[in-house]
Amino acid sequence: MKTKIPFAVATLMALAASSQAVVWRNDISEATVLAFGNDARFQGVGMVNVGGSYGTGTFLGIGTGGQAWGISAKHVITTGETGTFTFEDGGSYAISQAIGFTGVDVSIFKINGWNRNVFTPTLNTTGVYTVGTNLDSAGYGGHGAQGSATSWAYDNKRRGMQTKLNSTNPSFVFAGESQLMLIDVFDSPTSPNVRPIEGFGAPGDSGSMLLDPLGRIWGVLSGGQFETYGNQNWYATITPTIASQIYAQTGIPVPEPTSMIALGLGALAMLRRRRAR
């Protein structure tokens, strides 16, 4: 399970897989994965530190009263917990409150003193999750190329990955709650479905967002199987109900459909410019 991990020693919950890494296809360089993790869309992705453990979270927007909010997985941070939201450049912000949602492994948290001008994602409010859709993510888990080692290093750097939606499970039971899960598969370099920066989340990446080409969050990482080709990750889904509850709790303005279209076109233009360099 892609769960929060202690800083010193990677330990996993009882349901956990035994590996400890975010991995990428073994025919690409680590520099490629690090560069993708530095993409403009991921500048608001930080580490959610709770006690001696951490996962990944994403800046979600500014809500009522100018309050900044983030989103993560409930098993990373939940109601009654506080912590810090940190970045590899040394930036650190207090988390003063968290809210975990019933029936889904999703939580939101208040960020104090937020002063970053970063990409602001929206939430998928459509209830449509089309199999085959290209999706991207970034997180702070341990790292290594697939098959290169049996244990993996941690360096508090954000790495990015590409994936796509493989299937959905409407009654996936995680931490005792039956919920809709989005599922991806770690495709090998020879698979017809593999993407150029194919990757697979792992401990430390829990809570990382699954982002579509329109800049919408479809889900957050809950768990998964051993980090090898053909295995699955599971993402707790942002359903219309959960999206509505999040926007109501935070006061973050609900995006208009035309705004999301414009956001998507802007993101695609940005990606084309990045490829042209």
Which residue ranges make up each domain of the chain?
A: 5-40+124-239, 44-118+241-255
pTM: 0.86
The residue type found at 157 is K
The structure tokens listed for 247 are 């926007």
pLDDT tops 50 at residue 9:
no
Rounded mean pLDDT of 126-134? 98
Instruction: Report the range of poorest mean pLDDT among 3-17, 75-89, 141-155, 222-236.
Output: 3-17
Place of tokens 């996993």: 12
pLDDT tops 90 at residue 33:
yes
Q: Is domain 44-118+241-255 in CATH 2.70.70.10, yes or no?
A: no
Rounded mean pLDDT of 131-157? 80
pLDDT tops 70 at residue 59:
yes
Rounded mean pLDDT of 6-17? 32
- The DSSP H or E segment spanning 87 is none
pLDDT tops 80 at residue 81:
yes
Architecture per CATH, domain 5-40+124-239, reads as Beta Barrel (2.40)
**Helices and strands in the chain: count of H runs, count of E runs:** 3, 18
Bridging pattern class, strands 134-139 and 143-145: unpaired
Per-residue pLDDT at 256: 80
**Residues 202, 9: Cα–Cα separation, whole Å:** 15
Question: Is there a contact between 100 and 81 (Cβ–Cβ < 8 Å)?
Answer: no
Q: How confident is the model at residue 277 (pLDDT cuts 50, 70, 90)?
A: very low
**Residues 124, 212: Cα–Cα separation, whole Å:** 9
Rounded mean pLDDT of 207-221? 97
